[in-house]
Amino acid sequence: MTLHLPIGGSTAARTLACPAWLKKSENVPKRPAGEAAMMGSMHHAVQEKCQRENTAPNEHTGFIYEEAKHRYIFNSGLRDDDLDLSNRVYNATNALMDELDIDDIEIESFVQLVEGLAGGTLDLLGLSLDRKHMLALDYKFGQTPVDATENAQLLFCLVAARMDPATTDLFKEAESFTLAIIQPKLAAVPLRWTCRVKELDEFEARIGEAIKKATGKKERPGTPGKHCDWCPAAPYCTEKRTSIASALKLDPKSHNALNVSAGLVEEVEAWVKTVKEEMFLQMTKGVVIDGWKIVEKQPRRKWLDENRAEIALRGTRLRVKDIIQKKLITAPAALKLLKQRKIEIDLNRFIEKVSTGTTIAPENDKRDAVVVTDVVGHLAKIM
Protein backbone atom coordinates (compact mmCIF):
# COMPACT_ATOMS: atom_id res chain seq x y z
CA MET A 1 0.00 0.00 0.00
CA THR A 2 1.43 3.38 -1.05
CA LEU A 3 1.89 5.82 1.83
CA HIS A 4 0.62 9.37 1.48
CA LEU A 5 2.03 12.35 3.37
CA PRO A 6 0.43 15.83 3.45
CA ILE A 7 2.90 17.04 0.78
CA GLY A 8 3.88 14.54 -1.90
CA GLY A 9 5.32 14.32 -5.37
CA SER A 10 1.95 14.74 -7.06
CA THR A 11 1.31 17.97 -5.14
CA ALA A 12 4.83 19.42 -5.44
CA ALA A 13 3.98 21.71 -8.37
CA ARG A 14 0.89 22.96 -6.54
CA THR A 15 2.89 23.57 -3.35
CA LEU A 16 5.42 25.65 -5.30
CA ALA A 17 2.70 27.70 -7.00
CA CYS A 18 0.28 28.02 -4.07
CA PRO A 19 1.60 27.10 -0.61
CA ALA A 20 -1.80 28.10 0.84
CA TRP A 21 -3.48 25.00 -0.60
CA LEU A 22 -2.34 22.79 2.30
CA LYS A 23 -4.13 24.70 5.07
CA LYS A 24 -7.14 25.36 2.85
CA SER A 25 -7.52 21.59 2.32
CA GLU A 26 -7.23 20.53 5.97
CA ASN A 27 -10.94 19.97 6.61
CA VAL A 28 -11.93 18.99 3.08
CA PRO A 29 -12.91 15.28 2.87
CA LYS A 30 -10.91 13.19 0.44
CA ARG A 31 -12.66 12.02 -2.68
CA PRO A 32 -12.66 8.29 -3.38
CA ALA A 33 -10.41 7.10 -6.22
CA GLY A 34 -12.22 6.54 -9.50
CA GLU A 35 -12.11 3.40 -11.61
CA ALA A 36 -9.47 4.83 -13.95
CA ALA A 37 -7.17 5.57 -11.00
CA MET A 38 -7.66 2.07 -9.62
CA MET A 39 -6.82 0.54 -12.99
CA GLY A 40 -3.70 2.68 -13.09
CA SER A 41 -2.73 1.36 -9.65
CA MET A 42 -3.23 -2.19 -10.89
CA HIS A 43 -0.90 -1.56 -13.84
CA HIS A 44 1.67 -0.04 -11.46
CA ALA A 45 1.51 -3.16 -9.29
CA VAL A 46 2.07 -5.40 -12.32
CA GLN A 47 5.18 -3.42 -13.37
CA GLU A 48 6.50 -3.62 -9.81
CA LYS A 49 6.16 -7.42 -9.83
CA CYS A 50 7.87 -7.63 -13.22
CA GLN A 51 10.93 -5.66 -12.08
CA ARG A 52 11.20 -7.29 -8.67
CA GLU A 53 10.85 -10.83 -10.03
CA ASN A 54 12.53 -10.31 -13.43
CA THR A 55 9.39 -11.51 -15.22
CA ALA A 56 7.16 -10.29 -18.07
CA PRO A 57 3.54 -9.03 -17.71
CA ASN A 58 2.03 -12.12 -19.37
CA GLU A 59 3.56 -14.24 -16.60
CA HIS A 60 1.29 -12.64 -14.02
CA THR A 61 -2.09 -13.87 -15.18
CA GLY A 62 -4.13 -14.58 -12.07
CA PHE A 63 -2.51 -11.70 -10.17
CA ILE A 64 -5.03 -9.94 -7.94
CA TYR A 65 -4.63 -6.26 -7.15
CA GLU A 66 -6.62 -5.22 -4.10
CA GLU A 67 -7.05 -1.82 -2.46
CA ALA A 68 -9.70 -0.78 0.05
CA LYS A 69 -13.02 -2.24 -1.13
CA HIS A 70 -12.13 -2.25 -4.82
CA ARG A 71 -10.74 -5.30 -6.58
CA TYR A 72 -9.32 -5.61 -10.07
CA ILE A 73 -8.26 -9.05 -11.28
CA PHE A 74 -5.33 -9.46 -13.66
CA ASN A 75 -6.01 -12.93 -15.07
CA SER A 76 -6.52 -14.88 -18.28
CA GLY A 77 -9.67 -12.85 -18.88
CA LEU A 78 -7.66 -9.64 -19.20
CA ARG A 79 -8.39 -7.78 -22.45
CA ASP A 80 -5.60 -7.85 -25.00
CA ASP A 81 -5.58 -4.05 -24.96
CA ASP A 82 -4.71 -4.05 -21.25
CA LEU A 83 -1.94 -6.59 -21.68
CA ASP A 84 -0.59 -4.59 -24.62
CA LEU A 85 -0.45 -1.53 -22.34
CA SER A 86 1.57 -3.44 -19.74
CA ASN A 87 3.94 -4.81 -22.38
CA ARG A 88 4.57 -1.34 -23.80
CA VAL A 89 5.53 -0.01 -20.37
CA TYR A 90 7.66 -3.06 -19.59
CA ASN A 91 9.54 -2.88 -22.91
CA ALA A 92 10.06 0.89 -22.70
CA THR A 93 11.37 0.59 -19.13
CA ASN A 94 13.90 -2.11 -19.98
CA ALA A 95 15.05 -0.34 -23.15
CA LEU A 96 15.65 2.88 -21.19
CA MET A 97 17.59 1.09 -18.44
CA ASP A 98 19.73 -0.68 -21.04
CA GLU A 99 20.47 2.60 -22.81
CA LEU A 100 21.50 4.33 -19.57
CA ASP A 101 23.43 1.28 -18.36
CA ILE A 102 21.36 1.11 -15.17
CA ASP A 103 22.81 -1.50 -12.82
CA ASP A 104 21.21 -0.87 -9.42
CA ILE A 105 17.48 -0.21 -9.05
CA GLU A 106 15.04 0.64 -6.28
CA ILE A 107 11.37 -0.21 -6.99
CA GLU A 108 8.49 1.75 -5.45
CA SER A 109 10.78 3.34 -2.86
CA PHE A 110 8.98 5.52 -0.33
CA VAL A 111 11.32 8.42 0.47
CA GLN A 112 10.88 11.41 2.79
CA LEU A 113 12.11 14.96 2.46
CA VAL A 114 10.62 16.02 5.80
CA GLU A 115 9.75 13.06 8.01
CA GLY A 116 6.02 12.64 8.46
CA LEU A 117 5.25 15.73 6.35
CA ALA A 118 6.76 15.65 2.87
CA GLY A 119 7.69 12.61 0.82
CA GLY A 120 6.62 10.35 -1.99
CA THR A 121 7.16 7.18 -3.96
CA LEU A 122 9.26 6.74 -7.08
CA ASP A 123 8.10 4.03 -9.47
CA LEU A 124 11.73 3.29 -10.28
CA LEU A 125 15.02 4.80 -9.15
CA GLY A 126 18.09 3.52 -10.99
CA LEU A 127 21.83 4.04 -10.74
CA SER A 128 24.25 3.44 -13.62
CA LEU A 129 27.10 0.94 -13.45
CA ASP A 130 29.68 3.75 -13.11
CA ARG A 131 27.55 5.29 -10.29
CA LYS A 132 27.53 8.69 -12.03
CA HIS A 133 24.07 8.76 -13.61
CA MET A 134 20.64 8.27 -12.05
CA LEU A 135 17.23 7.50 -13.54
CA ALA A 136 13.99 8.68 -11.92
CA LEU A 137 11.07 7.02 -13.70
CA ASP A 138 7.33 7.56 -13.35
CA TYR A 139 4.47 5.70 -15.04
CA LYS A 140 1.37 7.59 -16.14
CA PHE A 141 -1.58 5.51 -17.35
CA GLY A 142 -3.91 8.42 -18.11
CA GLN A 143 -4.34 10.37 -21.35
CA THR A 144 -3.53 13.84 -20.08
CA PRO A 145 -0.02 14.60 -21.43
CA VAL A 146 2.68 14.90 -18.76
CA ASP A 147 5.99 16.58 -19.60
CA ALA A 148 9.27 15.30 -18.15
CA THR A 149 11.05 18.65 -18.53
CA GLU A 150 11.59 20.14 -15.05
CA ASN A 151 8.88 17.77 -13.81
CA ALA A 152 8.18 18.87 -10.23
CA GLN A 153 6.98 15.43 -9.10
CA LEU A 154 10.16 13.65 -10.19
CA LEU A 155 12.45 16.44 -8.95
CA PHE A 156 10.66 16.35 -5.59
CA CYS A 157 11.11 12.56 -5.30
CA LEU A 158 14.77 12.81 -6.32
CA VAL A 159 15.44 15.48 -3.69
CA ALA A 160 13.61 13.36 -1.12
CA ALA A 161 15.60 10.25 -2.11
CA ARG A 162 18.85 12.21 -1.78
CA MET A 163 17.78 13.27 1.73
CA ASP A 164 16.30 9.95 2.91
CA PRO A 165 18.78 7.73 4.86
CA ALA A 166 17.54 4.65 3.00
CA THR A 167 18.67 5.92 -0.42
CA THR A 168 21.11 8.76 0.21
CA ASP A 169 24.17 6.55 -0.47
CA LEU A 170 23.07 6.16 -4.11
CA PHE A 171 23.76 9.87 -4.70
CA LYS A 172 27.38 9.97 -3.50
CA GLU A 173 28.96 9.92 -6.96
CA ALA A 174 25.94 10.87 -9.09
CA GLU A 175 26.58 13.79 -11.45
CA SER A 176 23.54 13.79 -13.72
CA PHE A 177 19.90 12.72 -13.48
CA THR A 178 17.41 11.62 -16.14
CA LEU A 179 13.76 12.33 -15.38
CA ALA A 180 11.56 10.03 -17.47
CA ILE A 181 7.81 9.66 -17.99
CA ILE A 182 6.39 6.55 -19.62
CA GLN A 183 2.82 7.21 -20.76
CA PRO A 184 1.81 4.20 -22.89
CA LYS A 185 -1.58 5.53 -24.01
CA LEU A 186 0.15 8.46 -25.72
CA ALA A 187 3.60 7.22 -26.78
CA ALA A 188 5.62 4.01 -26.93
CA VAL A 189 8.85 5.76 -25.93
CA PRO A 190 9.60 7.66 -22.70
CA LEU A 191 9.64 11.44 -22.46
CA ARG A 192 12.82 12.49 -20.70
CA TRP A 193 14.83 15.43 -19.43
CA THR A 194 18.35 15.38 -17.98
CA CYS A 195 19.70 17.74 -15.32
CA ARG A 196 22.77 18.00 -13.12
CA VAL A 197 23.39 18.49 -9.41
CA LYS A 198 22.99 22.28 -9.72
CA GLU A 199 19.36 21.98 -10.89
CA LEU A 200 18.62 19.51 -8.10
CA ASP A 201 20.08 21.88 -5.50
CA GLU A 202 18.02 24.80 -6.87
CA PHE A 203 14.82 22.77 -6.76
CA GLU A 204 15.58 21.64 -3.19
CA ALA A 205 15.88 25.28 -2.11
CA ARG A 206 12.62 26.23 -3.85
CA ILE A 207 10.56 23.33 -2.51
CA GLY A 208 12.05 23.81 0.98
CA GLU A 209 10.91 27.45 1.01
CA ALA A 210 7.46 26.48 -0.30
CA ILE A 211 7.06 23.84 2.43
CA LYS A 212 7.96 26.41 5.09
CA LYS A 213 5.27 28.75 3.73
CA ALA A 214 2.73 25.94 3.48
CA THR A 215 3.24 24.82 7.08
CA GLY A 216 3.83 28.21 8.70
CA LYS A 217 1.38 29.82 11.11
CA LYS A 218 0.71 32.76 8.82
CA GLU A 219 -2.54 32.52 6.85
CA ARG A 220 -1.76 32.95 3.17
CA PRO A 221 -4.14 33.77 0.31
CA GLY A 222 -4.51 31.23 -2.46
CA THR A 223 -2.84 31.78 -5.80
CA PRO A 224 -5.28 30.63 -8.53
CA GLY A 225 -3.97 29.01 -11.69
CA LYS A 226 -3.71 25.78 -13.68
CA HIS A 227 -2.35 24.04 -10.57
CA CYS A 228 -5.85 24.29 -9.03
CA ASP A 229 -7.17 21.51 -11.28
CA TRP A 230 -6.73 18.67 -8.76
CA CYS A 231 -6.68 20.74 -5.57
CA PRO A 232 -9.21 19.45 -3.00
CA ALA A 233 -9.74 23.02 -1.77
CA ALA A 234 -10.62 24.43 -5.23
CA PRO A 235 -14.44 24.28 -4.75
CA TYR A 236 -14.10 26.20 -1.46
CA CYS A 237 -11.22 28.57 -2.24
CA THR A 238 -12.17 32.28 -2.01
CA GLU A 239 -9.36 33.38 -4.31
CA LYS A 240 -10.33 30.78 -6.92
CA ARG A 241 -13.96 31.90 -6.89
CA THR A 242 -12.86 35.53 -7.22
CA SER A 243 -10.67 34.57 -10.19
CA ILE A 244 -13.54 32.75 -11.89
CA ALA A 245 -15.94 35.64 -11.18
CA SER A 246 -13.48 38.06 -12.77
CA ALA A 247 -13.26 35.85 -15.84
CA LEU A 248 -17.05 35.91 -16.22
CA LYS A 249 -16.97 39.71 -16.43
CA LEU A 250 -14.78 39.67 -19.53
CA ASP A 251 -16.55 40.58 -22.76
CA PRO A 252 -15.83 37.77 -25.26
CA LYS A 253 -16.80 40.11 -28.15
CA SER A 254 -13.83 42.33 -27.36
CA HIS A 255 -10.69 41.02 -29.06
CA ASN A 256 -8.39 41.95 -26.17
CA ALA A 257 -10.78 40.43 -23.63
CA LEU A 258 -11.15 37.33 -25.79
CA ASN A 259 -7.39 36.72 -25.69
CA VAL A 260 -7.48 36.88 -21.89
CA SER A 261 -10.60 34.69 -21.75
CA ALA A 262 -9.04 32.06 -24.03
CA GLY A 263 -6.26 31.51 -21.52
CA LEU A 264 -8.84 30.82 -18.82
CA VAL A 265 -11.15 28.44 -20.71
CA GLU A 266 -9.56 25.16 -19.58
CA GLU A 267 -9.04 26.48 -16.06
CA VAL A 268 -12.72 27.45 -15.72
CA GLU A 269 -13.91 24.14 -17.21
CA ALA A 270 -11.73 22.16 -14.80
CA TRP A 271 -12.99 24.20 -11.84
CA VAL A 272 -16.65 23.70 -12.81
CA LYS A 273 -16.05 19.93 -13.10
CA THR A 274 -14.34 19.87 -9.69
CA VAL A 275 -17.17 21.83 -8.05
CA LYS A 276 -19.84 19.52 -9.49
CA GLU A 277 -17.96 16.42 -8.32
CA GLU A 278 -17.65 17.89 -4.82
CA MET A 279 -21.36 18.84 -4.80
CA PHE A 280 -22.35 15.30 -5.75
CA LEU A 281 -20.06 13.79 -3.11
CA GLN A 282 -21.44 16.03 -0.35
CA MET A 283 -25.08 15.62 -1.40
CA THR A 284 -24.79 11.82 -1.38
CA LYS A 285 -23.74 12.22 2.26
CA GLY A 286 -26.92 14.17 3.02
CA VAL A 287 -25.57 17.72 2.74
CA VAL A 288 -28.25 20.12 1.43
CA ILE A 289 -27.12 22.53 -1.30
CA ASP A 290 -29.63 25.26 -2.16
CA GLY A 291 -31.09 25.00 -5.64
CA TRP A 292 -29.77 21.47 -6.34
CA LYS A 293 -31.03 17.91 -5.93
CA ILE A 294 -29.93 14.38 -6.80
CA VAL A 295 -31.94 12.79 -9.61
CA GLU A 296 -31.83 9.58 -11.62
CA LYS A 297 -29.89 9.79 -14.88
CA GLN A 298 -31.87 9.79 -18.12
CA PRO A 299 -33.23 6.21 -18.45
CA ARG A 300 -32.59 4.21 -21.63
CA ARG A 301 -35.04 1.58 -22.86
CA LYS A 302 -33.62 -1.92 -23.37
CA TRP A 303 -35.04 -5.40 -23.84
CA LEU A 304 -35.57 -7.54 -20.75
CA ASP A 305 -35.41 -10.66 -22.95
CA GLU A 306 -34.30 -10.04 -26.55
CA ASN A 307 -35.33 -13.51 -27.79
CA ARG A 308 -38.89 -13.24 -26.47
CA ALA A 309 -39.18 -9.68 -27.79
CA GLU A 310 -38.10 -10.92 -31.26
CA ILE A 311 -40.76 -13.68 -31.20
CA ALA A 312 -43.41 -11.10 -30.28
CA LEU A 313 -42.34 -8.74 -33.07
CA ARG A 314 -42.26 -11.56 -35.63
CA GLY A 315 -45.88 -12.26 -34.73
CA THR A 316 -46.90 -8.81 -35.96
CA ARG A 317 -47.30 -7.54 -39.53
CA LEU A 318 -43.81 -6.00 -39.44
CA ARG A 319 -41.37 -7.31 -42.04
CA VAL A 320 -38.34 -9.26 -40.78
CA LYS A 321 -35.92 -6.82 -42.46
CA ASP A 322 -37.53 -4.01 -40.43
CA ILE A 323 -36.93 -5.65 -37.06
CA ILE A 324 -33.62 -7.48 -37.67
CA GLN A 325 -30.78 -5.14 -38.59
CA LYS A 326 -27.54 -6.24 -40.21
CA LYS A 327 -24.66 -3.80 -40.44
CA LEU A 328 -20.89 -4.01 -40.94
CA ILE A 329 -18.88 -3.18 -37.85
CA THR A 330 -17.03 0.15 -37.83
CA ALA A 331 -13.48 0.50 -39.13
CA PRO A 332 -11.96 1.06 -35.63
CA ALA A 333 -13.87 -1.98 -34.30
CA ALA A 334 -12.62 -4.13 -37.21
CA LEU A 335 -8.98 -3.06 -36.69
CA LYS A 336 -9.24 -3.79 -32.98
CA LEU A 337 -10.76 -7.23 -33.63
CA LEU A 338 -8.03 -8.13 -36.14
CA LYS A 339 -5.36 -7.09 -33.65
CA GLN A 340 -6.95 -9.19 -30.90
CA ARG A 341 -7.18 -12.28 -33.15
CA LYS A 342 -3.66 -11.64 -34.53
CA ILE A 343 -4.93 -11.60 -38.12
CA GLU A 344 -2.88 -9.59 -40.63
CA ILE A 345 -4.72 -7.85 -43.46
CA ASP A 346 -4.30 -4.39 -44.98
CA LEU A 347 -7.59 -2.51 -44.67
CA ASN A 348 -6.15 0.94 -45.37
CA ARG A 349 -7.43 0.90 -48.97
CA PHE A 350 -10.98 0.60 -47.60
CA ILE A 351 -10.61 3.29 -44.95
CA GLU A 352 -10.58 7.07 -45.06
CA LYS A 353 -10.24 9.54 -42.23
CA VAL A 354 -12.93 12.18 -42.53
CA SER A 355 -13.03 15.09 -40.12
CA THR A 356 -16.44 15.88 -38.66
CA GLY A 357 -15.56 19.56 -38.59
CA THR A 358 -13.27 21.92 -36.74
CA THR A 359 -12.98 22.77 -33.07
CA ILE A 360 -10.59 24.65 -30.82
CA ALA A 361 -7.71 23.17 -28.82
CA PRO A 362 -4.77 24.44 -26.72
CA GLU A 363 -1.50 25.14 -28.57
CA ASN A 364 0.17 22.06 -27.03
CA ASP A 365 -2.38 19.79 -28.77
CA LYS A 366 -0.57 17.43 -31.18
CA ARG A 367 -2.95 18.08 -34.09
CA ASP A 368 -1.89 20.54 -36.80
CA ALA A 369 -3.56 23.93 -36.79
CA VAL A 370 -6.15 24.51 -39.52
CA VAL A 371 -5.47 27.57 -41.68
CA VAL A 372 -8.61 29.71 -41.65
CA THR A 373 -9.05 32.42 -44.29
CA ASP A 374 -11.74 35.03 -44.74
CA VAL A 375 -13.02 33.66 -48.07
CA VAL A 376 -16.08 35.90 -48.09
CA GLY A 377 -13.96 38.99 -47.44
CA HIS A 378 -11.54 38.13 -50.26
CA LEU A 379 -14.40 37.55 -52.70
CA ALA A 380 -15.90 40.94 -51.79
CA LYS A 381 -12.55 42.63 -52.55
CA ILE A 382 -12.22 40.81 -55.90
CA MET A 383 -15.74 41.83 -56.96
Spatial separation of the C-alpha atoms in residues 132 and 170, rounded to whole Å? 9
Question: Is 2 strand, coil or helix?
Answer: coil
CB atoms within 10 A of CB 254: 11
Spatial separation of the C-alpha atoms in residues 238 and 321, rounded to whole Å? 61
At 62-103, the pLDDT tens digits run 777 776 544 445 444 456 667 888 999 999 999 999 999 999
Spatial separation of the C-alpha atoms in residues 97 and 174, rounded to whole Å? 16
The per-residue pLDDT for 16 is 97
pTM of the model: 0.76
Spatial separation of the C-alpha atoms in residues 109 and 121, rounded to whole Å? 5
Close Cβ partners of 147 (under 8 Å, ≥ 6 residues apart): 181, 191
At 215-257, the pLDDT tens digits run 999 889 999 988 998 899 999 999 998 988 887 777 767 777 7
Helix crossing, 80-99 with 35-53: angle to 10°?
Answer: 50
Partners of residue 194 on adjacent β-strands: 178
The per-residue pLDDT for 96 is 96
